[in-house]
Amino acid sequence: MIMGNPAYELLALCDILPAEDLNLDPYCAKISFYTDLADLLNSHPEIEIICLATPNGLHEPQALQVLEAGRHVLVEKPLALSKAACERILFKALEKNRQVFGVMQNRYSPPSQWLKKLVDSGVLGTIYMVQVNCFWNRDDRYYQAGNWHGSLEMDGGTLFTQFSHFIDLLYWCFGDLYDVEAHLEDFAHPHSTEFEDSGLVNFRLKDGALGSLSFTTAVWDVNFESSLTLIAQNGTLKVGGQYMNKVEYCHIKNYQMPELPPANPPNNYGTYQGSAANHHFVFQNMVDVLQGREAISTNALEGLKVVDIIERIYQAGRPKSTLKQA
């Protein structure tokens, strides 16, 4: 994504594995490489932005390290694994007058943009019910021994790693969740994870709408769907597909469904499938924000709010002995 945007220059890479073990792109293989973030920061005072694409449990300490060094930071989802950890990142960003960008690229998909504008327009009237279904596959091909996936400390849980994008869309379009009740189970992964693989969550939205979230990573072999169904005073709609990237049903009073741009368009560096297809919008937004042309698309407070919602779902459904401490 950096190499595909002319506003950026890729100056350095960092990983705990040596460069020869990473099968790097030939261009990337020529870039300065480090196995310690502090060495990278100290060696490159000219770097303005650090992008963190690391295990979830490292996001807080690494973001704090980057901000302390006076750099802006882009953090892949989730911002951190607790509300308290997010608050520490926000405090440090304010102290250092630096920006924290969150990666919630699904906001840029045409169906998500359409849904947000439709809800905000009031065309739907009173919203009665919102149902979100996230039914994916993650099996032993994904949860491999020695990997950070499946660990409470580094992964945090299915809602953090697999489905936080869809909780973000729920929050972005409809606001906070209230009266949260949750039932969580680990059906298919007791040998490979320290947390649930499935859950049923009930809640209320603002103005009294009823909501539910059903999720699982126990689907056999391949992903099934991620969908959002909305029942309102003036109509019904469903956004579906694997990544909520298709409008599957729209029947709204006195409303003509517009033709949406194609989902998952190619960017300047190639064609990206699935949820990665909109990352280039995030990188363009960073440029526009830092050059004073646009507002930030996913600010740190919104990233904190998604973590707060997930944390409250887990508090409602997990035994207290398994909850990660802030």
Instruction: With respect to residue 147, please indicate whether it lies within any of the assigned structural domains.
Output: yes
- Structural domain count of the chain: 1
Q: Do β-strands 246-252 and 235-240 pair in parallel, antiparallel, or remain unpaired?
A: antiparallel
Instruction: With respect to residue 266, please indicate whether it lies within any of the assigned structural domains.
Output: no
Provide the residue type at 299 as one letter. Answer: N
Instruction: With respect to residue 280, please indicate whether it lies within any of the assigned structural domains.
Output: no
Instruction: With respect to residue 228, please indicate whether it lies within any of the assigned structural domains.
Output: yes
201-234 tens-digit pLDDT:
999 999 999 999 999 999 999 999 999 999 999 9
68-88 tens-digit pLDDT:
999 999 999 999 999 999 999
Given this model, what pLDDT does residue 27 score?
Answer: 83
Given this model, what pLDDT does residue 269 score?
Answer: 43
Q: How far apart (Å, rounded) are the C-alpha atoms in residues 314 and 201?
A: 10
Instruction: With respect to residue 51, please indicate whether it lies within any of the assigned structural domains.
Output: no
242-295 tens-digit pLDDT:
899 999 999 999 999 999 998 655 444 444 555 567 889 999 999 999 999 999
Place of tokens 């694994």: 81
pTM tops 0.85, yes or no: yes
- Percent residues over pLDDT 70 in the chain: 94
116-126 tens-digit pLDDT:
999 999 999 99
Q: Is 267 helix (H, G, I), strand (E, B) or coil?
A: strand
What average pLDDT score do residues 188-196 get? 96
Instruction: With respect to residue 209, please indicate whether it lies within any of the assigned structural domains.
Output: yes
What average pLDDT score do residues 26-48 get? 94
* Residues of the domain holding 234: 105-260+301-322
Instruction: With respect to residue 95, please indicate whether it lies within any of the assigned structural domains.
Output: no
In terms of Cβ atoms closer than 10 Å to its own Cβ (0-12, 13-18, 19+), residue 48 is middle
Instruction: With respect to residue 4, please indicate whether it lies within any of the assigned structural domains.
Output: no
In terms of Cβ atoms closer than 10 Å to its own Cβ (0-12, 13-18, 19+), residue 188 is buried
The CATH number of the domain holding residue 157 is 3.30.360.10
